[in-house]
Amino acid sequence: MTDASTNLTFPMTGGCLCGAIRFSISAAPFDADYCHCRRCQQSTGAPVSAWMDFKFEEVSWLQGLVKEFASTDKTFRGFCGDCGSTLSFRHRDYPQYLTLAIAALDSPELISPRYHIYTSSQMPWFNLCDELPRYPGSRSQGNP
């Protein structure tokens, strides 16, 4: 994470646009990234999504229930059933982890992504102006 993440205080909170769903995190994310995959683009309506990863037990749902959509046979995207805000992502093969949308935090400026994934799906008109590593697929699929 960035230098700001070393000075974080916990718990940190976040939630959806309408306030129906609220969550708390008890630790800094162990990873954070920008995702340019088509499924993220379609589910958020944005050219890129910013995500942060936690151990499942570091996230507490304080209010409301996240609805989930199975975007593949192994992945589930969580959102608010009232306002539609994108909130979470989880993978069936990794039940110990939960991914949350950075922008859903009450103070999203405190967490910075460390790299870009699925840049092979990056919109050609979306210019990146950072020096972060870039991966054409998932980070485990090759070099930046």
Residue 121's DSSP bridge partners are none
Residue range 23-37: average pLDDT? 98
Residues in Cβ contact with 38 at an 8 Å cutoff, skipping those fewer than 6 apart: 118, 121
**What would the pLDDT profile of 36-66 be if each residue is shown by its tens digit?**
999 999 999 999 999 999 999 999 999 999 9
Please report the domains of the chain, with CATH numbers, ordered by start residue: 3-123+134-139 (3.90.1590.10)
Angle, vertex CA 51, rays to CA 45 and CA 53, nearest 5? 150
| pLDDT interval class at 124 (50, 70, 90) | very high
Query: Which residue has tokens 């939630």?
Result: 15
Residue 28's DSSP bridge partners are none
pTM for the full predicted model:
0.92
Write out the E strands in 7-142.
12-15, 22-25, 31-35, 49-55, 59-63, 67-70, 75-79, 86-91, 97-101, 116-117
Which pLDDT does position 139 carry in this prediction? 86
